[in-house]
Amino acid sequence: MVKIVRLYSGVTIDLLQPITLSSTSAHYLQNVMRRKKGDKVIVFDGKSGEYEAEIKYMSRGTVTLEPKKKLAEVSRPTDIWVAFTPIKKIGTHFVIEKCTEIGVRKIFPIFTEHSENKNLRIDKWKLNSIEAVEQCGGNFIPEIRENTSLGEFVDNFPEDRKLIFCNEVVKEPNLREIFTKDNFSKACILIGPEGGFSDKEREMLSSRKNVYSVSLGARILRAETAVTVALAVWHSHFST
């Protein structure tokens, strides 16, 4: 059976309203997946849901689709956010990809004492996220926020949400342990940079009311591994 292609549309989809694909998606459909006029694809916009569409027009670099049938509403993951410190390009791409695949509502890039406030290519990250969602079968794209400092992030953190501070210097409590004791269904996972958090940052975080310092086990994980592990454990407890 031919695998059905799933594509993201940057414009909101309406039934029977033609959609002109971006040149990247048009190229992918024509030259990589070798689809033809009349073939069916799945298209989603991350807002209104997911549709079956027919390829109505195809010429070099231009493809128009017609959404024929709504297949599903947008499937938002349960209410988890991730805040992390982007440092290396590959690690960052990994974080964005895994957050999208496993399921996260919002992603906050933050800068800390052991990182720089670099000019981030958030537009590129959105493309990573779109690619990940196209291939994993989801239809929700996490919101990626602008870069903020750790201090600013914590100052503006909502009171009704718990901040899970993944703290590499503590041995306990373990993440699983806190999840069996309290309800963390509305939470944000905070992961530090490669150089870890500074003592001052640890103190600041520990003095806040809705911040919970946790260990992810005896080993020091790379930031991108730590994000994946923490998210998987969170989902196994609180995903609905």
Q: Name the site residues for ligand SAH (rule: CB under 6 A).
A: 166-168, 191-192, 194-197, 215-217, 219-221, 223, 226
C-alpha of 231 from chain center: 11
Distance between CA atoms of residues 50 and 57, nearest Å = 20
Based on CB atoms, which residue is closest to ligand SAH, 210 or 215? 215
Minimum distance between the CB of residue 124 and ligand SAH, rounded to whole angstroms? 22
* DSSP assignment letter at 51: E
Minimum distance between the CB of residue 215 and ligand SAH, rounded to whole angstroms? 4
* DSSP assignment letter at 57: E
Minimum distance between the CB of residue 234 and ligand SAH, rounded to whole angstroms? 13
Nearest 10 degrees: Cα torsion 7, 128, 146, 235: 90
Based on CB atoms, which residue is closest to ligand SAH, 19 or 191? 191
Based on CB atoms, which residue is closest to ligand SAH, 109 or 192? 192
Minimum distance between the CB of residue 190 and ligand SAH, rounded to whole angstroms? 7
Based on CB atoms, which residue is closest to ligand SAH, 14 or 194? 194
Nearest to 63 by CA among 93, 91, 23, 90: 23
**89-102 vs 223-238: helix crossing angle, rounded to 10:** 10
Based on CB atoms, which residue is closest to ligand SAH, 77 or 192? 192
Chain position whose Cβ is nearest to ligand SAH: 192
Contact by Cβ (8 Å): 222, 187: no
DSSP SS3 for 176: helix
Amino acid at 92: T
* DSSP assignment letter at 24: H
Minimum distance between the CB of residue 90 and ligand SAH, rounded to whole angstroms? 15
